[in-house]
Amino acid sequence: VRKRRFGVWRYRELLPISDNVEPVTMCEGGTPLIKLNRAVDGHVYVKFEGANPTGSFKDRGMTVGVTIAKHIGVKGVVVASTGNTAASAAAYAARAGLACVVVLPRGGVAKGKLAQSLLHGARIVEVDGVFDDALEEVFTEVVINGKKDLYPLNSYNPWRLEGQKTIAFEIVDELSEVPDAIVVPVGNAGNISAIWKGFKELYNYGLISKLPRMIGVQAEGAAPLVATWNRKSETLLEIEKPYTIASAIRIGKPVNWLKALNAVKESNGTFIAVSDNEILNSVKDLAQYEGIGVEPASAASLAGYRKAIDLGILNRDDSVVLIATGHALKDPDTISKIF
């Protein structure tokens, strides 16, 4: 008897993992696609990734990444994180019986996420600086100093992106068509790259006959890809001291920048910057007009959609999916500050 599969592993045939590998899973994925009724006019849906086991889309990548880590027999995993990757790695490592080290920017991680890393038993290392410094620390320790028993699971690890590409598969399954555009909050730029990979695979297999435009949204104070895109630079225009209230995407040197630029270019999309105020207004509108509670970074997608309409990048009759990347409970402090 074949076990009924749910979420990410429903698409196992489209994941490059052989049948003898046993997944480390908590039924992640299969998240709601919710049509907006009041916050905006038009055919706009929210893919509510807050409904994943640890409350963010990171679980889609982590189920695959930790499955591989366990399969190859490492002792533990390590990630740098603004919080959600850490929470997810901690939970999946616990489930797999692996150690987990999370390297975090001191003072830069929302309370709910920090609590999750503690809860699931990760070892927490704090670094002075921002996410980019934490990632540098992981590079130095694991790649240069050769800590071979710690498997790195940041989104330059291709297995992460394999899991996250299932967002595209679910959108097509649910809508039975390809939306005109996907709007994605961008930090380290893994997710937008992964979702684009998912759509392109469906297209290359002949399962869909058009591709969506990929719209990447960054916060004004942490918008290296917007700058790189607008100035048509061939190298990343890094931000040394990124700042936004949306701590999840407070990133100045996104590791997947080139993949993300290519995704946006190939899909005839664009990058858009939104202000912290626009982000907070979108948090509020999703919550109070639609009942959808998201953390600030997630609301960058609605803020970006509104800006894209204003700028004439998108039309009101375009069908659009906004990726709401993480749950409101992740960041209670920011919410208490606005209301």
Enumerate the known binding-site residues. 84, 187-191, 325
CA distances 235 to 30, 44, 251, 255, 281, Å, are 36, 34, 16, 12, 33
Residue with smaller CB distance to ligand F0G, 56 or 282: 56
Binds ligand F0G (CB under 6 A): choice among 29, 221, 304, 326: 326
What is the distance between the alpha carbons of residues 9 and 24, in angstroms, rounded to a whole number?
10
Site for ligand F0G, residues 142 to 161, rule: CB under 6 A:
155
Residues in the chain: 339
Site for ligand F0G, residues 296 to 315, rule: CB under 6 A:
297-298
Site string for ligand F0G, 156-185 (x = CB under 6 A): -----------------------------x
Query: Per CB under 6 A, does 84 bind ligand F0G?
Result: yes
Q: 234: which residues sit within 8 A by CB, 6+ positions away?
A: none
Q: How far apart are the first and last CA of the chain?
A: 52
Binds ligand F0G (CB under 6 A): choice among 103, 325, 328, 335: 325
Piece in contact with ligand F0G (CB under 6 A), picked from 114-122, 188-196, 280-288, 310-318: 188-196
Site for ligand F0G, residues 238 to 297, rule: CB under 6 A:
248-249, 295, 297
What is the distance between the alpha carbons of residues 13 and 26, in angstroms, rounded to a whole number?
19
Residue with smaller CB distance to ligand F0G, 63 or 188: 188
Piece in contact with ligand F0G (CB under 6 A), picked from 9-17, 83-91, 92-100, 139-147: 83-91
Contact between 218 and 271 (Cβ < 8 Å)? yes
Query: Per CB under 6 A, does 83 bind ligand F0G?
Result: yes
Let me know the angle formed at the C-alpha of 229 by 214 and 39, rounded to the nearest 5 degrees: 45
What is the distance between the alpha carbons of residues 226 and 231, in angstroms, rounded to a whole number?
8
Q: 65: which residues sit within 8 A by CB, 6+ positions away?
A: 77, 89, 92, 153, 157, 159, 160, 163
Query: Per CB under 6 A, does 52 bind ligand F0G?
Result: no
Size of the site for ligand F0G (CB under 6 A): 22
Binds ligand F0G (CB under 6 A): choice among 25, 191, 270, 334: 191
Query: Per CB under 6 A, does 96 bind ligand F0G?
Result: no
What is the distance between the alpha carbons of residues 17 and 70, in angstroms, rounded to a whole number?
13
Contact between 66 and 120 (Cβ < 8 Å)? no
Where along the sequence are the contacts to ligand F0G (CB under 6 A)?
56, 58, 81-85, 155, 185-191, 248-249, 295, 297-298, 325-326
